[in-house]
Structure 1
Amino acid sequence: MSTPELHLYIGSKNLSSWSLRPWLAMSHAGVPFEEHVIPYELPDWVDRVAQRSPTRKVPALRHGELVVWESLAICEYVAEAFPGARLWPEGREARAVARAVSSEMHAGFADLRRELPMDVARRYPRRAISDGAARDVARVLEIFRDCRARFGQGGPFLFGAFSIADAMFAPVVTRLLSYDVEIDEVARAYAGTITSLPAMARWSAAAAEEVERNPHLTAPAGSSYAKAAGGAAAP
């Protein structure tokens, strides 16, 4: 078997939501790549990442001499390099909206990210969140409802078939579940779709193994790992 040409450098799977996004897109689509996990707890984490990413952040994708950083840029590159993966919707309108919500996810939802950091392997009791985080959650649920109603007739994903938009929102699904956030039936069904993906199950199992090896690898707000994930890997 030949060695995959693509190499994806990612952070710890329990915490690094930005790493999950391209990993899930590539894994679900069957794009061959070799993953390289750089655990957050390593004392020389920044130095190791700096050897592979110009921003000193994960994820980063290497394809030959080319290095691509930023999750959405990686997904876009893979979609162009592997058109058979069909990582964007085929219809022009659906594709435009998929790109819009993916970009919104990439740039927005700061309060949700800060107050509900990704922690795949753990479950927390429901707690009060700020008005800003509540608005972020409401917007996420609105996106789910709108995309499913307008474009979801062909399958269980946001745009019917799996797309980059689903990869971009998958980490949010894990947050909603980890912190027992109140969600509507559309979001609940969509969360079930995402968590039942074989690739997502593999990621979650690996995250659980990480936490079993290192119980401190968790991300309650203010923890050292949450700060590392936010500053170095920006979950």
Structure 2
Amino acid sequence: MTEKTVEKDVCKVVCLVSGGIDSPVAAWLFIKRGCTPIFVFYDNHPFADETTKKRALDIIKKLSEFAQKRPVKVYMVPHGEDLADILRNCPRNLTCVLCRRMMYRIAEKIASMEEAEAIVTGEIIGEHASQTLRNLRVENDALKEFSILRPLVGMDKLEVERLARKIGTFDTSASPASCCSAPPRRPRTRARFEEVRRAEQKLSIEDMVRRDIEGAEVILL
């Protein structure tokens, strides 16, 4: 199905795409308003295999069809070393929150480099442990200059799935792929600012961001 989009190029937005059902729908909502997407995928190898990466790229190619022939840029960011550093040095129950904060920092750096206006994600309240309102607030704290826009935050899963079917990404998103093996059994659902900042003192945040940006594969579609 072809969905009409607004012709005017409103702005650039950095869209985080995981290969799941939610994030492609969030990206599409901004593309259809005329925004130029800059896609960012975090490759969690060795905590996830190549099937997740391939699925995400297939979805991004589908989403690029809605961009009305505007050039689309994709950053494939190596994120596995970040996860390994977090697992080695930080409390296990904070893994997902710390991971998201790192993802946001990298996205913010890319947004600055690309002169984008915002970062778009597919979080839904309560969908995962890292997506409670408290944790979203703590995760936002990692950003210095950019806002995160979450167009799906108040939707339920069925609403999102309907949109995914409408735009043609659902079948690919629902296809078999490995899940990240890093999440803990008992993740923190109400992280505190002070414990997160204390944990991050054990990480070389700036070096990690620099490493990921320098190691990113950039693809033009």
Above 0.5 in TM-score?
Answer: no
The structure with the greater share of residues assigned to helix is 1
Q: Which has the larger share of strand?
A: 2
TM-score normalized by the length of structure 2: 0.30
TM-score (norm 1): 0.29
